[in-house]
Structure 1
Amino acid sequence: MPELPDLEVFSHNLEKRLKGKTIARLTSHTTKLNVTEKELQDTLHGQKIAAVYREGKELYFKWSNGDILALHLMLHGKLFYFKDKNDQKFPVIELMFTDGSGLVLTDFQKAATPTLNPEPKTAPDALSDEADADYYKTILAKKKTTIKTILLDQKIVRGIGNAYADEILWHARISPFSVANKIPEHKLKDLVKAIHKVLTEAQQQIIKHNPDIIAGEVRDFMLIHHPKKQSSPGGAPIQIDNGTRKTYYTSEQELFE
């Protein structure tokens, strides 16, 4: 599943390619759309793309009249840019522009979701100033679940997925199995630093190796959540917990319980 750094790079590349293009037609192939296809067509027809940006784990396409088309790629959603005709299988939604180019979101599981003018989210973005140590202190004081569960909860903090949660917690030296309300305050400062460091450096790595990417995942640079690596940079063996989601961790991370 594309996570925050991937989507940040996708949004940058999509805006560079699509900004200013005028929509000619949209075709929906999903039942997950929150409005009828006609309403979608009537709302966006003739509008220009004003901006493309990331909101949590979604891509937001902002149009010239202020409307928003949000795309959640889910686990297997991919975006493809094309000329004249879409040849990709499993389309979820297709956008055709007046210059003959187009963009299609595909997903063989049909789980990817387009939403017209989504409701504002209340949880802060992982990279926002609002998601600081004080925010986590307030939230975690009420939680007896594991810290990794907290980081993955999009109703608490938006944008972090499984792979980056493991990387963040290793950098912060906090065990993913730590009980949230047992983590001391000074470690929450380490957690916030690790979130910003891991997510921003990942964006730089993705751009460096795949400057034009708008689909897929780049994970080769990861230090811990990496199936081909046996040990951390410090030499500690990487362990894998095969729970609901695979969790990669080492003995270098302190367990609070």
Structure 2
Amino acid sequence: MPELPEMETYKTLLGKLINGQKISDVEIGREKSINVPVDRFIAQVSNMTIKTISRRAKYLIFQLQDGSCLLLHLMLGGWMFFGREEERPDRTVQVKLSFGEQHLYFIGLRLGYLHLLTSDEVKEEFEKLGPEVLEADFTLEAFQQIMKKRKGMLKTTLINQEVLAGIGNAYSDEILWHAEIRPDRKVNELDEQQLIRLYHSIQFILNKGIKEGGYMDHPLFKGDSKTGGYQFYVYDREGEACTRCNTNIIKEEISSRKTFYCPNCQN
């Protein structure tokens, strides 16, 4: 599932490609991927100019010239491709937005969606989300105050979008490996130094993920050398050697989520 670094990468790259561009045509391949009748979606979105693209947590918000928004959540397996028809991947497309001869393809939206909403409806969608962990006001003190109220396992807490926005299954493992803390530790068992390490690991790993283009397998466009450059330390590396201590990485299930960590240097 794309997380904060992947969606931030999409936001940056798409901003350069389609900001200020008019949507010349719309095609819907799967009605369940949108939230209004197909005819209404096409009528309201066609000929609209994209004013800005922003990100909140794991969402992208395409703001249209009339004030309405397209809210994207890729969920599990969703991705995008931008290019000409002849460059299009050989995959089923759920939604296609055209910009003249170039098209933005939304692929793999079996659980994901592209919803047409008012700006107020978007705000309602975000009401329960926790803070953006890379914003300037997300200080160490703010993080400590949030964590003082939590008692559950670290893994579960980090991926809870109502606690912290944007961290998912993969980067939670990466963050905890970097902080040298086991994912099954309880939040209220951590000492001050461990909380400080955890805060700085959140900043380091997510910024590294953004800088390296996240971990998505699929390029956004032909010749895209930015997307997918991030290499995991522990996630999805069961049985491989930890790069810090050479112990084999193990996989366990925590709250029904596959979780990867080093049993030696995370404690």
TM-score bracket, shorter-length normalisation: 0.7 to 0.9
Matched, 1:119 2:131: no
User: Match of 1:31, SS?
Assistant: helix
Gaps (5+ residues) in structure 1?
A: none
User: Match of 2:70, SS?
Assistant: strand
State the partner residue of 2:242: 231
After alignment, is 136-145 or 54-63 more displaced?
136-145
Contact 2:213 2:230 in 1 (8 A): no
Q: Which amino acid is the alignment partner of residue 112 of structure 1?
A: G
User: Shift of the alpha carbon at 1:73?
Assistant: 0.9
Gaps (5+ residues) in structure 2?
A: none
State the partner residue of 1:102: 103
Backbone CA RMSD of aligned residues: 2.9
1:128-167 superposed matches below 5 A: 128-167=135-174
Could you report, residue by residue, the CA deviation over 1:80-136 in whole angstroms, capped at 9, with x for unpaired residues?
A: 223257675422211122x222111111x6212112235321321232234433344
User: Shift of the alpha carbon at 1:76?
Assistant: 1.0
User: Shift of the alpha carbon at 1:217?
Assistant: 7.4
User: Match of 2:248, SS?
Assistant: coil
User: Shift of the alpha carbon at 1:72?
Assistant: 0.9
Normalising by structure 2, we get a TM-score of 0.81
Asked which structure has the greater RCO (Cα within 8 Å, sep 6+), the reply is 1
| % same residue | 26
Contact 1:9 1:213 in 2 (8 A): no
Q: What is the alpha-carbon distance in structure 2 between the residues aligned to residue 53 and residue 90 of structure 1?
A: 26
Q: Structure 1 pair 32/220, CA: closer, same or farther in 2 (3 Å)?
A: closer
After alignment, is 127-136 or 174-183 more displaced?
127-136
User: Match of 1:168, SS?
Assistant: helix
Q: What is the alpha-carbon distance in structure 1 between the residues aligned to residue 211 and residue 235 of structure 2?
A: 18
Matched, 1:92 2:94: yes
Q: Structure 1 pair 239/155, CA: closer, same or farther in 2 (3 Å)?
A: same
Normalising by structure 1, we get a TM-score of 0.84
Q: What is the alpha-carbon distance in structure 2 between the residues aligned to residue 176 and residue 213 of structure 1?
A: 32
State the partner residue of 2:212: 205
